[in-house]
Chains A and B, each alone.
Chain A
Amino acid sequence: MLEVRDVHFSYAKPVLKGASVEVARGELLAVLGPNGSGKSTLIKIIVGILTPERGSVFIEGRRLASMTRRHSAQLIGYVAQESAIRFPLTVMEFVLQGRFAQNRLIGFESERDVQEAERAMELTETIELAARPVTELSGGERQRVMLARALAVRPAILVLDEPVANLDIAHQVKMFEVVKRLTVDEGTIGIVVTHELNLAAEFATSVLLMKSGEVEASGSPREVMTERLLRAVFDTDLMVDVNPASGSPRITLIASRASHSSGSV
């Protein structure tokens, strides 16, 4: 169980003004909100990159700050928003990095490590890329490879920061499906920051809606993704009804009438 208790953080000015959330095992939490709402900062605090000025993160009751780096690394898998890598590591070498916390400082990866890496690559459909240098991959391929590395950790908590930004729609759905299956089959906690409101509505078991560093709402998708709340937070016109196929909320953006007629933005 992951618990975030009233965390605060500032860069030059306050970015997170007291955010709290609880995520149980097997849940998939979607973190939504406009740019600048503090989503990425919250994520970085959850995975341990940033230390909150106030408040704490608890994993299974233990404070994250008091864990050794090695221990927390075995629990958390993280995919950052972007990654510029300039060295031609092979995809296999890259994914194997996920096994770092399992190994000692000196030595080489074991057969078990290679198996875990291959499993992760199969889940993300990147196994054919194993010998390719990461610098030669397309944006979408790279994102899937980054997910594979996080999966190779066999984490209890999987945290993804906008993981589908560069993917085509088929792969977008597949990415969410992979994460969903992990939460269902293995009880992994999944936390996904995304702008894909409909995918979030489809796959998430709970939603965190943020604006200006604070939590506006949290709860099930049906509770949180209402027209009133979404319009207020995103400051844009939209319509929410029910997806007839799945029963999840369906969000439709409404373009203004003026832009319709002129045909230009």
Chain B
Amino acid sequence: MTTRTAMSKVASVRGRAPKRLTARRLLITISVLLTLLFIVAAFSLAIGSERIELRTVADVIASKLTGRMSGASPEHAMIIASIRLPRVLMAITVGAALAVAGAAYQALLRNPLADPGILGVSSGAALGAITATIFSDALPVSRPVAAFVGAAVTIAIVYMLGQHRQGGGAERLILAGVIINALLSSIVIFLVTTAGARQRSVLSWLIGDMSGETRLLPVVALFVLTGIAAIYLNARGLNLMMTGEDDALVLGVETQRVKLIVYLAASLLTGAAVAVSGAIGFVGLIIPHAVRLAGGSDNRLVIPASAVAGATFLMLADTLARTVIAPRELNIGVVTALVGAPVFIYLLRRTS
């Protein structure tokens, strides 16, 4: 049972299309999604390119939690604790970040088809990462840090370009983002194709890589949680802004402040995600959409549900990516599209 069909079941249990979001419906939906998350997490830890018994997996996890020694062989323990577990945690963090960023952008830009990369943040991060590999001899900066710096600079530039005299229109921001995105993407492509072997290895990372170093993961996770919280605090304001900025203003929303906070938070979420795992597509576009189809457009549901659903989805996709043609791995960006597209088409047809 996938995340999306579970949510449709929740909706249909009430017998009719829900008129509005209540605290109870929110709680039920999130609980169901969280349960699914844990199931998929357990599943992801249990399988991989190396066959390890379920008992051993449980043993290693338990020993990690309680601190006592595990009976597993050092290789198995290492695989589960140092390879699979960090990867699962990374998928959860990145999946949640991308899905919430997508949901936030879609509400902010009043466009259900906005994707976290639309405002150029992913390209900025990619450019940062590539620049770091070119100058790695002169100035050794870790890839995630360089990528994040690239993202941050892009965020600032796009925001400044997108400002309008009378506040800021969503259209102008989109335009600024699309232009900067195109510019940065072409620079990235130029660097990758004209440069040597070192840059070629970045190419595989660019389209998504979940196997990276996870030393920074705790910091990134904290970052992601903060970003999601900042957006969630403005969920109500976003609901109103989705119908029009002027309307929201008169209804009492501090639109300039909400815009700035949500833009910054969503862009930083995207930057952080791309910095650790490359530009994984599809998650930010499709997960919020699917959540809306199944549960309605109220952001007080869409934001947290997207976070959990995005985490689950990316975990699932990553598990598939690293087991289907083991010991080879499929690229995660390819898998998210191949897995996501049919599921989404199914959902679309069911609810229309």
Contacts and interface: CB of A to CB of B under 8 A. Distances in A.
Is there a contact between chains A and B in the complex with CB atoms less than 8 Å apart?
yes
Contacts, number: 100
Given A83-B244, A94-B243, A108 B249 contact: no
Contact of B252 (A70, A108, A114): A70
A100 B251 contact: yes
B246 A49 contact: yes
B244 A88 contact: no
B348 interface: no
A131 B23 contact: no
Contact of A69 (B111, B236, B254): B254
A74 interface: yes
B256 to A, nearest CB: 10
Contacts of A44: 246
A50 interface: yes
B253 A92 contact: no
Contacts of B59: none
B224 to A, nearest CB: 20
Given A50-B166, A89-B298, A80 B244 contact: yes
Interface string A93-109: 11011101101011011
A7 interface: no
B68 to A, nearest CB: 41
A101 B247 contact: no
A85 B248 CA distance: 12
Interface residues of B, number: 34
A100 B240 CA distance: 9
B252 A100 contact: yes
A172 B305 CA distance: 42
A222 B110 CA distance: 44
Contacts of B250: 47-49, 73, 76, 78
Nearest to A106: B233
B112 interface: yes
A86 interface: yes
B111 A86 contact: yes
A78 B250 CA distance: 7
B339 interface: no
Interface of B: 16-23, 107, 110-112, 166, 233, 236-237, 239-240, 242-244, 246-247, 249-254, 292, 296-298, 300
Interface of A: 44, 47-50, 69-70, 72-74, 76, 78, 80, 83-90, 92-94, 96-98, 100-101, 103, 105-106, 108-109, 114, 130-131, 149, 153
